[in-house]
Amino acid sequence: MTKTTLTTSAGNPVPDNQNSLTAGARGPVLLQDVHLTEKLAHQNRERIPERVVHAKGWGAYGTLTITEDISQYTKAACLQKGAQTEMLARFSTVAGELGAADNERDVRGFALKFYSSEGNWDLVGNNTPVFFIRDPLKFPDFIRTQKRHPKSNLRSGTAMWDFWSLSPESLHQITILMSDRGCPQTPMQMNGYGSHTFSLINAENERVWVKFHFKTRQGHAHYTNAESAEVIGRTREGYQESLFGGIENGEFPKWDMKIQVMTEEQAKHTAFNPFDLTKVWPHGEFPLIDVGVMELNRNPENYFAEIEQAAFSPSNIVPGIGFSPDKVLQARIFSYADAHRYRLGTHYEALPVNAPRCPVHHYHKDGSMRFFEPKHGSSDAYYEPNSFDGPAEAPQHAEPALPLDGDADRYNHRDGNDDYTQAGNLFRLMNAEQQGRLFSNLADAMGGVPSEIIERQLAHFDQADPAYGAGVRKALGL
């Protein structure tokens, strides 16, 4: 069989891919060896900036199938009963770099892209229903504490606990992170949460607030710190092996999609701020409503092209799904798309993995890597409004007005917020063994941290539940 001819990137046939062009067998290389220089130049450019957070990830394609009728809440085409939507999931750790070990204790990213007929809907959540902060101004500070110390280039328990103990809104998420669920065995054995409050809008243009949940059908499974150290000693790629390998073997993981719904009127009367990312909506008050099932069933052909270049952004929503006053969500709406423009370039949404599967019509112009042609009518329609049948807005997709009240000011986000009840509820939900592992995980994580910082943090555990503080004290040998 004749082999395909190797070419340069310009398509010129390559006569020799084994030997450089040199002056004599022992001689120096000639600059004229364009194949050699192209090969080296390309290698030099193979890396793009890794994500500042969520750098290490694993992903697969699948399908979202809607099995229940939730049209009373949303008109989104991809959420109507019977709809099947192709999708991409990318799971990740938060703090570790691109080469970090998969099985470390950390929050897991749970990012979903649904290629709907009305454009991409990205739900960029975590395996936790809450987060460490409620004001986005604190996000860069928080992430600094999770990354490397500028002098030692080591991760710093002191920085983490200093920040956390000074930011009691983090207690709920710390309790999850240090519980069994902080170290899932595989990406298949954890839940996913949209985390933020979003909105749903129905065909009558009525809005409700919503939380999205994806409950694993594989069951929860977690490693203790000792087990994860042993796993990492064997393989640093535990998640990639289990997700990629499972799908190659025809094992297709599934999650049940559910929502919680709150009316605009109910939102005015909850004991907690329903737009506070450090809070859940208790199931007893806001029961889970079945929606459908998500299945992952296809591995990407090329990890870099399809997972490293996958760009998820909470700003991608479809008619029938909207944002909410959650401050952190609003900052992410800006920040994620901005990060992708920096990492991947202006036209990152045109890359095959990110490209919507529906027609795209916009007037954004040129820029680096403009490799696509707008496919709308006349070439004279390159501004708007125009008389040449160019794309125009569709007012039927306008959301209902959102009533806002209050004076513009910098409100102290720590005033009047109860940071302890829900963290305590989670603690009290754990059985004695689970609480014991929580205490010892916390004591491990606090090793080497100055005592005044530990004391400050212990006071937070005490406020969540006296038994919580007492257990950690005992584990610390205090």
Task: Check if 196 is active-site.
Answer: no
Exactly one of 179, 195, 242, 324 binds ligand NDP (CB under 6 A); that residue is: 179
Contact between 425 and ligand NDP per CB under 6 A: yes
Pick the closer one to ligand NDP by CB: 88 or 133.
133
Q: Say if residues 419 and 172 touch (Cβ distance below 8 Å).
A: yes
Asked if the peptide bond before residue 403 counts as cis, ω within 30 degrees of 0, the response is no
Q: Which amino acid is at 326?
A: D
Q: How far is 64 from 67, CA to CA, in rounded Å? A: 10
DSSP 197-251: -EEEE-TT--EEEEEEEEEESS---B--HHHHHHHHHH-S-HHHHHHHHHHHTT-
Q: How far is the CB of 265 from ligand NDP (least distance, A)?
A: 20
Q: Which residues contact 142 (CB under 8 A, 6 or more apart)?
A: 132, 133, 163, 167, 170
What is the closest distance, in whole angstroms, from the C-beta atom of residue 181 to ligand NDP in the complex? 4
Q: Which of 159-167, 229-237, 279-287, 346-354 is the region at the interface with ligand NDP (rule: CB under 6 A)?
A: 279-287
Query: To the nearest whole angstrom, how small is the minimum distance from the Cβ of residue 70 to ligand NDP?
Result: 17
Q: Tell me how far apart the alpha carbons of residues 281 and 259 are, in angstroms, rounded to a whole number.
A: 11
Least separation, in Å, of the C-beta of 428 and ligand NDP?
8
**Single residue of 197, 422, 435, 440 touching ligand NDP by CB under 6 A:** 422
Cα 421 from Cα 436, distance rounded (Å): 20
Q: Contact between 436 and ligand NDP (CB under 6 A)?
A: no
Among 188, 200, 201, 280, binds ligand NDP (CB under 6 A): 280
Judged by CB under 6 A, the residue of 24, 150, 250, 284 near ligand NDP is 284
**CB of residue 224 to ligand NDP, shortest distance in Å:** 13
> In the complex with ligand NDP, which residue's Cβ is closer, 208 or 426?
426
Q: Count residues binding ligand NDP (CB under 6 A).
A: 16
283 belongs to the binding site for ligand NDP (CB under 6 A): yes
Q: How far apart are CA 278 and CA 330, in angstroms?
A: 15
**CB closer to ligand NDP out of 115 and 193:** 193
Is there a contact between 177 and 167 (Cβ–Cβ < 8 Å)?
no
* Under rule CB under 6 A, residue 131 binds ligand NDP: no
Which residue stretch of 62-70, 176-184, 357-365, 456-464 sits at the interface with ligand NDP (rule: CB under 6 A)? 176-184
Exposed / middle / buried, residue 76 (Cβ in 10 Å: 0-12, 13-18, 19+): buried
Q: What is the token pair recorded at 115?
A: 């290629």
Q: Which stretch binds ligand NDP (CB under 6 A): 25-33, 71-79, 276-284, 292-300?
A: 276-284
Q: Calculate ∠ Cα 257-258-261, nearest 5°.
A: 150
Told to check if 129 binds ligand NDP by CB under 6 A, we report: yes
CB of 454 to ligand NDP, least distance (A): 22
Residues 291 and 68: beta-carbon distance below 8 Å: yes
Q: Which CB sits closer to ligand NDP, 34 or 467?
A: 467
Q: Is 437 helix (H, G, I), strand (E, B) or coil?
A: helix
The interface with ligand NDP within residues 209-268 (CB under 6 A) comprises 215
Is residue 429 at the binding interface for ligand NDP, with CB under 6 A as the rule?
A: yes
Beta carbon nearer to ligand NDP, 307 or 426: 426
CB of 73 to ligand NDP, least distance (A): 17
Q: Of 54, 196, 413, 460, which is the active-site residue?
A: 54
Q: Per the residue annotation, which of 103, 120, 126, 273 is the catalytic one?
A: 126
User: First and final CA of the chain: distance in angstroms?
Assistant: 74
3-class DSSP state of 155 = strand
Can residue 273 be called a binding residue for ligand NDP (CB under 6 A)?
no
97-129 in b/e form (b: 16+ CB < 10 A) is eeebbbbbbbbbbbbbbbbbebbbbbbbbbbbb
If binding is defined by CB under 6 A, does position 281 make contact with ligand NDP? Answer: yes
- Beta-bridge mates of residue 347: none
User: Which residue type occupies 51?
Assistant: R
The candidate with the shortest Cα–Cα distance to 303, out of 58, 113, 120, is 58
126 is catalytic: yes
Q: If we measure between CA atoms, which residue out of 113, 170, 176 comes closest to residue 143?
A: 170
Stretch of 27-35, 356-364, 405-413, 424-432 contacting ligand NDP, by CB under 6 A: 424-432
Tell me the residue nearest to ligand NDP as measured from the CB.
426
Question: Of 299-307, 347-355, 378-386, 423-431, which part binds ligand NDP (CB under 6 A)?
Answer: 423-431
426 binds ligand NDP (CB under 6 A): yes
Residue 176 binds ligand NDP, judged by CB under 6 A: yes
Complex with ligand NDP: residue 75 or 222, whichever CB lies closer: 222
The Cα–Cα gap between 115 and 367 comes to: 25
Among 126, 170, 173, 191, binds ligand NDP (CB under 6 A): 191
Q: Is 282 in the site for ligand NDP (CB under 6 A)?
A: yes
Residue reference for tokens 């004279």: 380
Burial 441-457 (b: 16+ CB within 10 A, else e): bbbebbeebeeebbebb
Q: Rule CB under 6 A: which residues touch ligand NDP?
A: 129, 176, 179-181, 191, 215, 280-284, 422, 425-426, 429
List residues with catalytic annotation. 54, 126
